[in-house]
Structure 1
Amino acid sequence: MKLSHYDEEGQAHMVDVGAKPPTRREARARAFVELSAEALTALPLNPKGNPLEVARFAGIQAAKQTAFLIPMCHPLQLSFVDVEAKIVAGGVEVETVAATVAGTGVEMEAMTAASVAALTVYDMTKALDKGIRIREVELVSKSGGKSGEWRREGR
């Protein structure tokens, strides 16, 4: 298997996607922020503001900045980004979606949004819980482009 971001000499490079036809592409990702029961109970009373709403905005902003953070990512004109952060048993689940019409996919944008939203929940709640863990940052599904549909099994 050949990795696309390396040339014949093993040097990292940006893939040329100029010849690829633009198609609608969408990716979904998730992350989980494990919090103590005490932190979950106190979450709505956070003096810094609503951590879930701040995380939502942070994730949207992060998706738009992905190419500045990940060296070989192409800057994409995103047509849609959504981030949902909700309290569930044991913590906060973050789910994201990113979409574009382009010659390359938006997996990195969706995963960056999920990661930064999770980090924002951590930042907003760290005074309540020193044992916070961010787990399972993962791509859930993608569509569009040459490789078509992909979905993580069990989702």
Structure 2
Amino acid sequence: MSKFTHIDDHGNAIMVDVSEKNQTTRTSQAEGFVYMNDKTLAMVVEGSHKKGDVLAVARIAGIQAAKKTSDLIPLCHPLMLSSVKVDFDAQPEQGRIRVLSMCKLTGQTGVEMEALTAVSVACLTVYDMCKAVDKMMRIEGVRVLSKSGGKSGDWSVVND
């Protein structure tokens, strides 16, 4: 079994020292899904929700969340992100909105947590704005789709 990097020899939580790592361009993509009824999905897509443009607000929330990841997740390094993108894909045949994030930087540690945080908060924002009209919404499938850069190289989910 490999040694946990966030725990020292005495079992104490530590922040990993990345000072000796090479700076490389690193990216990560993540996704999540917000399931909702047809009426709610149509309202979101058409922009007719009385609270305003749900997806615009969720995009901003996701971007802000990525920038605040180190404030939310213990032991995450504060990162100088060079790009954060949050996009949406309405999938009415599945009764859901797919939320996709991409985070990028040149640095010494990866951006998977930032991509996951962006997606999670964007999904939560859609939920929050729509909960009054759809009590049965649910968030599922939050996961990393890909990462690139760094010593461990590139990785991506095989099309599934």
TM-score normalised to structure 1 length: 0.96
Task: Name 1:98's counterpart in structure 2.
Answer: 103
RMSD value, Cα: 1.0
Does residue 142 (structure 1) correspond to residue 147 (structure 2)? The answer is yes
Q: C-alpha separation between the residues in 2 aligned to 1:41 and 1:60?
A: 24
Compute the displacement of 1:16 (Å). 0.2
CA contact 1:55–1:85 (8 Å) conserved in 2: no
CA contact 1:30–1:114 (8 Å) conserved in 2: yes
Does residue 2 (structure 1) correspond to residue 33 (structure 2)? The answer is no
Compute the displacement of 1:125 (Å). 0.7
Q: C-alpha separation between the residues in 1 aligned to 2:136 and 2:159?
A: 28
Compute the displacement of 1:41 (Å). 2.2
Q: Structure 1 counterpart of 2:152, which letter?
A: S
Does residue 76 (structure 1) correspond to residue 79 (structure 2)? The answer is yes
Task: Name 1:152's counterpart in structure 2.
Answer: 157
CA contact 1:52–1:86 (8 Å) conserved in 2: no
Q: Provide the secondary structure at the position in 1 that maps to 2:100.
A: strand
Does residue 123 (structure 1) correspond to residue 124 (structure 2)? The answer is no
Task: Name 2:32's counterpart in structure 1.
Answer: 31
Q: Which blocks of at least 5 consecutive residues in structure 1 are unaligned?
A: none
Q: Provide the secondary structure at the position in 2 that maps to 1:45.
A: coil
2:65 aligned to which of 62, 66, 73: 62
For residues 24-75 of structure 1, give each alpha carbon's deviation from its aligned partner in whole angstroms, at most 9, with x where no partner exists: 0000000100011121122221011111111111100100000000111000
Q: C-alpha separation between the residues in 2 aligned to 1:12 and 1:154?
A: 36
Structure 1 outlier segments of 4+, above 3 Å: none
Q: C-alpha separation between the residues in 1 aligned to 2:63 and 2:17?
A: 26
Q: Provide the secondary structure at the position in 2 that maps to 1:38.
A: helix
Q: C-alpha separation between the residues in 2 aligned to 1:26 and 1:101?
A: 9
Q: Provide the secondary structure at the position in 2 that maps to 1:75.
A: coil
Q: Structure 1 counterpart of 2:129, which letter?
A: M
Q: C-alpha separation between the residues in 2 aligned to 1:100 and 1:70?
A: 18
Q: Which blocks of at least 5 consecutive residues in structure 2 are unaligned?
A: none
CA contact 1:25–1:99 (8 Å) conserved in 2: yes
TM-score normalised to structure 2 length: 0.94
Does residue 114 (structure 1) correspond to residue 119 (structure 2)? The answer is yes
